[in-house]
Structure 1
Amino acid sequence: MSKIVARGAGVVSGMIGGAIAGAVFKQVWKLVAGTDEAPQATSDEYGWGEVLVAAAVQGAIFGVVKAALDRSTSRSVHRAIGG
């Protein structure tokens, strides 16, 4: 039963984390680049450098948010159900 609770909490945490990471990235990109939209990999108006920098920043933010939420969720579940 505890594995089911932990898995469900992980799924919810992942969805929330994705939304948080997306919002954080949008604000960081706006602050750093001065534009509202980050370059899309499929857009011809941006060069390789811009696209890869945007992807690296987005990946780093997503990774940090995911790790923080996974860790927090895991500790909370363990405290709540024991183990």
Structure 2
Amino acid sequence: MQTDQALYRPFTMVVTLTSGMLAGAVFQKVWKLAAHEDDAPDATDEERAWAEILMAAALQGALLGLTKAILNRGGAKGVRKLTGTWPA
């Protein structure tokens, strides 16, 4: 295993966990601002409409993907800066 991969693999595990927590916190704040509600709808909320549930799920997924991409890209650039090679 190359040095860049050895450094990057543990980082990706941390990024996955961190991005999930960070995206969840951002989602709660965004939902609160957008919907003027404290709690986002859950798929099993009987009182919520399909449109509201799907909108919340799409927003949450987009924020998770965006957060993970930002952290992964930054990590890969950091590994390249430290090792001189791009992690595979």
TM-score (norm 2): 0.87
Residue 63 (structure 1) aligned to one of 59, 62, 65: 65
Q: Quote the Cα distance in structure 1 between the aligned partners of 2:83 and 2:17.
A: 22
Q: Which residue of 2 aligns with 1:21?
A: 23
Q: Quote the Cα distance in structure 2 between the aligned partners of 1:46 and 1:32.
A: 16
For these two proteins, the number of residue pairs brought into alignment is: 83
Q: Which residue of 2 aligns with 1:81?
A: 83
Q: Which residue of 1 aligns with 2:32?
A: 30
Gaps of 5+ in 1: none
Q: Quote the Cα distance in structure 1 between the aligned partners of 2:14 and 2:83.
A: 17
Q: Percent identity?
A: 42
The amino acid that maps onto 1:58 is: Q
The amino acid that maps onto 2:41 is: P
Q: Which residue of 2 aligns with 1:6?
A: 8
Runs of 4+ residues deviating >4 angstroms: none
Aligned CA RMSD, in angstroms, stands at 1.0
Q: Which residue of 1 aligns with 2:52?
A: 50
